[in-house]
């Protein structure tokens, strides 16, 4: 029996927002993998990202700087430039043009685009890990990367390395960068940069900061950290904490000055 009321067909019922969003995510996952396997797509996307970052750089002139970049380059080269995850995207764009820089980028699939962008702006990328556990027990990829970076330093080039560990504790240095300083005998130079206009991705593990155009920038440098060649585990840990404190202090100053608070 029926109540005499015409019912709409099931197919005509509106799709809930949750179901619709789920289908969109599924569709994106279906096309994402083949896209990211396309070298042409990756190279094109890297070029677009590099162009966008150049726009952001040129529309954010340095308003506050604790040091003269050219003078610091001459005084400290070759050195290990230490950066934090999520705060590092623009720093290579303020590096002296025409000067070599080798940048260590994570070996994760998500970091592949970072490596391509680094190469688009004229620097060399080395893939590896920052060293999650004991500095004396790095996995093979991390060990190879450290060897490549040491060779670059021995050749008189600067290297840049993100100090904290991917998906670890943000703004807490790992032992990989400390190991590189011990092996090379070169200082670690903590550097931080902030822009007055920015967007923080709150849901990201490292609170990734995206700088926006048409603001101004502030750059700060912490006290260099030296690691003796004969450093034992206790001294390595002490130097790791020293770097963490120095880079965090520089980061705080850069953001405060970008926001006009200092």
Residue 9 is given by DSSP the state: P
Instruction: Please compute the mean of the pLDDT values over residues 143-159 and round it to a whole number.
Output: 93
The pLDDT assigned to 18 comes to 64
- Determine the pLDDT at residue 42: 86
pLDDT band at 205 (very low <50, low <70, confident <90, very high): confident
SS3 label, residue 80: strand
CA angle, 169 as apex, 180 and 131 as ends, to 5°? 25
User: Is the pLDDT confidence value at 74 over 80?
Assistant: yes
What's the mean pLDDT when you consider all of the chain?
Answer: 86
Contact by Cβ (8 Å): 83, 91: yes
Residue 129 banded pLDDT, cuts 50, 70, 90: low
Percent of the chain whose pLDDT exceeds 90: 58
pLDDT at position 244 over 90: yes
Q: d(Cα 166, Cα 49) in Å, to the nearest integer? A: 21
Tokens of 118: 């680094």
Give the chain's length. Answer: 262
On the question of pLDDT at 142 being above 60, the answer is: yes
Looking at residues 121-147, what average pLDDT do you find? Answer: 70
Which residue bears the tokens 């330093």? Answer: 153
Over residues 8-58, the pLDDT tens digits come to: 554 445 556 667 667 766 765 666 666 667 788 889 999 999 999 999 999
pLDDT band for 6, please (50, 70, 90 cuts).
Answer: low
Write down the pLDDT at residue 171.
94
Strand segments (E) across the chain:
62-65, 80-83, 101-105, 124-127, 158-162, 188-195, 198-200, 209-211, 217-221
Is 205 within 8 Å of 170 (Cβ atoms)? Answer: yes
The reported pLDDT for the residue numbered 195 is 96
């Amino acid at each position: 029996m029926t109540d005499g009321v015409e019912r709409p067909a099931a197919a005509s019922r509106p799709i809930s927002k949750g179901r619709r969003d789920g289908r969109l995510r599924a569709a994106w996952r279906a096309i994402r993998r083949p896209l990211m396997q396309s070298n042409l797509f990756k190279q094109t996307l890297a070029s677009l990202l590099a162009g966008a970052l150049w726009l952001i750089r040129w529309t954010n002139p340095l308003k506050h700087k604790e040091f003269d970049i050219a003078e610091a380059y001459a005084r400290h080269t070759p050195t290990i430039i230490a950066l934090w995850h999520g705060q590092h995207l623009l720093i290579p764009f303020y590096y002296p043009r025409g000067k070599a820089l080798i940048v260590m980028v994570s070996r994760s699939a998500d970091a592949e685009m970072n490596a391509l962008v680094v190469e688009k702006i004229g620097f060399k990328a080395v893939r590896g890990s920052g060293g999650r556990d004991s500095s004396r027990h790095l996995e093979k990829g991390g060990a190879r990367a450290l060897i490549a970076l040491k060779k670059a330093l021995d050749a008189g080039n600067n290297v840049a390395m993100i100090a904290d560990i991917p998906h670890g504790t943000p703004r807490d240095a790992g032992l990989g960068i400390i190991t590189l300083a011990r092996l090379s005998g070169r200082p670690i130079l903590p550097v931080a940069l902030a822009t007055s206009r920015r967007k923080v991705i709150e849901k990201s593990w490292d609170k990734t900061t995206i700088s926006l155009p048409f603001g101004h920038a502030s750059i700060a440098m912490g006290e260099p950290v030296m690691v003796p060649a004969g450093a034992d585990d206790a001294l390595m840990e002490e130097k790791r904490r020293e770097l963490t404190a120095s880079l965090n202090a520089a980061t705080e100053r850069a953001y405060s000055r970008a926001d006009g608070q200092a």
